[in-house]
Chains A and B, each alone.
Chain A
Amino acid sequence: MARPSPEARLRGIERQREQVLSHPLARGLRTDEVARHLAGLPKRRFPSIRYAERERGMPLLQPRGGTPIFEEQLRLTRMLSDAGADFVPLTIDSCTRHNQYDTASQLLRRSEEEGKAYLNGYPLVCHGHELTRQLYTGLDKPVSLRHGTPDARLLVELAIGSGIAEIEGGGLCYSLPYSEGFPVDRALLYWQYVDRVCALYSTPERPIHRESFGPLSATLVPPVIAIVIELVELLLAAEQGVLSFAVSFGQTGSFIQDVATAQVMRKLAREFLDEHGFAAMQVRLVYHQWMGQFPMQRERAAALIAGSAMVAGVIDADKVVVKTVDEALGVPRPEVNAEAVDSVRYVLRTFGTPAGVDSPAIQIEAALIESQVRSVMQAIFGLSGDAFWESVYRAFQMGWIDLPFSPHADNANKLVTMRDANRSIRIVEPGAVPVSAQDLVTERALLATRSDSEQKTYRRMLADIALMV
Chain B
Amino acid sequence: MVAEVAPVDPPRLVIGVIGDDIHIVGNRIMQLALEESGCRVFNLRTRNRPEHFVQAALEVNAHAVFVSSLNGEGEHWCADFRRPFEALGLGHVLLYVGGNVVVGSRPEPEVVSLFKSYGFDRVYHQRPDIGAAIIDLFEDLKHGASQP
**Which A residues fall within an 8 A CB radius of B?**
178-181, 217, 219, 405-407, 409, 413, 456-459, 461-462, 465
Contact = CB atoms under 8 A, between A and B. Distances in A.
Nearest to A405: B25
B25 A457 contact: no
B29 A407 contact: no
B45 A180 contact: yes
27 contacts: A178-B22, A179-B22, A180-B22, A180-B45, A180-B47, A217-B24, A405-B24, A405-B25, A405-B28, A406-B24, A407-B22, A407-B23, A407-B45, A407-B46, A409-B45, A456-B33, A457-B32, A457-B36, A458-B32, A458-B33, A458-B130, A459-B33, A459-B129, A461-B32, A462-B128, A462-B129, A465-B29
Interface string B27-42: 0110011001000000
A458 B131 CA distance: 10
A179 B25 CA distance: 14
A456 B36 contact: yes
B24 A465 contact: no
Nearest to B28: A405
A363 to B, nearest CB: 32
Given A180-B45, A456-B36, A461 B24 contact: no
Nearest to B30: A458
Given A458-B33, A458-B130, A465 B25 contact: yes
A-B residue pairs, 6 tightest by C-beta: A458-B33, A407-B24, A458-B32, A407-B22, A407-B46, A180-B46
A83 to B, nearest CB: 30
A465 B30 CA distance: 14
- Could you say which of B22, B24, B32, B33 has the most chain A C-beta atoms within 10 Å of its C-beta? B24
Contacts of A456: 2, 33, 36
Nearest to A219: B25
A104 to B, nearest CB: 15
Given A413-B28, A461-B29, 20 more contacts: A178-B22, A179-B22, A180-B47, A217-B24, A405-B25, A407-B22, A407-B24, A407-B45, A407-B46, A456-B36, A458-B29, A458-B32, A458-B36, A459-B33, A459-B129, A459-B131, A461-B32, A462-B29, A462-B129, A465-B29
A407 B46 CA distance: 7
Contacts of B46: 180, 407
A242 B79 CA distance: 51
Contacts of B22: 178-180, 407
Interface string B106-137: 00000000000000000000001111000000
